[in-house]
Amino acid sequence: KAVQPEDVVDPMLDRTDQQYLEYVRMAMEIPTCDGILLNIWEDLEPKTLEALRDEELLGQLCKAPVYPVGPLTRPPKPLDSRSGELFIWLDKQPSESVIYVSFGSGGTLSLEQTVELAWGLELSQQRFIWVVRSPSRKKGDGSFFSAGSGEASSMASCFPEGFLDRIQEVGLVIQDWAPQVDILNHPSVGGFISHCGWNSTLESITNGVPMIAWPLYSEQRMNAALLTEELGVAVRPSILASEGMVGREEIEMMIRKITVDKEATNIKNRVKKLKYSAAETISKGGSSHNALSLVAKQCALSWKSMELKAS
């Protein structure tokens, strides 16, 4: 499926913008290198790779060889070495029952949108872990919100009235930061509401977790399009979250679509399939493993020839 204009990065939409020219300049420079390493793998983006390798289409433009060597992700800690309140709670939840909500290190929602999301989570009647970034604080300590604590009272206005009390049994709200890879890797987690940063995207896929794609800025909209329309491992709101508010009913509906609705089974199956293909591609004999081996071999060869020239 062709990339839609509304999904590309903002500077690409305005050819009079200085940023547009910068993007074009960068794009022209990339193929002048000796090789391009991509944090993807053959089965994840076959069409992209086909296009990049197409002699007629891009051959003139992109002469550099393209090496898909991904997924490169942070490894999770062993299950039995994860400690703390969060994992004690997760261990007690049913398999694939918890929705993990995080908008990355740079993402914050408006107050209004935070309230709608809170309602959406509550209405969905699913369990959740929500990493909330407080607009007022720069750096967080990963502490929990709970009803009655000093921190919560200063943040209470971010949530609907009584929210923290009502969700005590089903949800955890964490301030600013959480051990994301360890959470996504936990068997109790069954969905991820994500801003679709590439790390988060890969961490979700390699752990077989279906997504609700909630892109906020830069190339995240393109990632969201790939995940929903191309790969079918995510659903996304009908409007761009960057351009309007996603309502509570739609949030509830999206959560149900990746957890309990009929079509959830298909989404889950597709993401599991990608999880296995990700594991395969980086193991011996897999395509990413081979590609990286090839890069290593070629580096070794060129170093050798440089040494010869030097001596």
Kindly tell me which of 201 and 259 has the beta carbon lying closer to ligand NAG: 201
Closest distance between ligand NAG and the C-beta of residue 198, in Å?
A: 7
DSSP 255-281: HHHHHTSTTHHHHHHHHHHHHHHHHHH
CB atoms within 10 A of CB 45: 18
Stretch that binds ligand NAG, among 24-32, 51-59, 67-75, 229-237 (CB under 6 A): 67-75
Q: Does residue 37 belong to the site contacting ligand NAG (CB under 6 A)?
A: no
* Sole residue written with tokens 């943040």: 155
Nearest residue to ligand NAG by CB is 199
Does residue 39 interact with ligand NAG by CB under 6 A? no
**Counting contacts by CB under 6 A, is residue 3 touching ligand NAG?**
no
What dihedral angle (degrees, nearest 10) is formed by the CA atoms of 199, 201, 41, 82? 70
Reduced to 3 states, what is the DSSP secondary structure of residue 196? coil
**Min CB(46)–ligand NAG separation in Å:** 23
Nearest residue (CB) to ligand NAG, 63 versus 74: 74
First to last CA, the chain: 53
137 binds ligand NAG (CB under 6 A): no
Stretch that binds ligand NAG, among 9-17, 71-79, 108-116, 187-195 (CB under 6 A): 71-79
Bridging pattern class, strands 36-38 and 66-68: parallel
Rg (CA), the chain: 22
Q: How many residues sit in the footprint of ligand NAG (CB under 6 A)?
A: 5
Q: What part of residues 81-110 is at the interface with ligand NAG (CB under 6 A)?
A: 105
Q: Given candidates 199, 269, 290, 298, which one binds ligand NAG under the rule CB under 6 A? A: 199
Region binding ligand NAG by CB under 6 A among candidate stretches 43-51, 54-62, 66-74, 265-273: 66-74
Q: Report the residue from 3, 36, 72, 253 that binds ligand NAG according to the rule CB under 6 A.
A: 72
How many contiguous H segments (helices) and E segments (strands) does the chain have?
Answer: 12, 8
Going by C-beta distance under 8 Å and a sequence separation of 6 or more, which residues neighbour residue 224?
7, 196, 213, 214, 215, 234, 236
**Residues of the shown chain interacting with ligand NAG in the complex, contacts defined by CB under 6 A:** 72-74, 105, 199
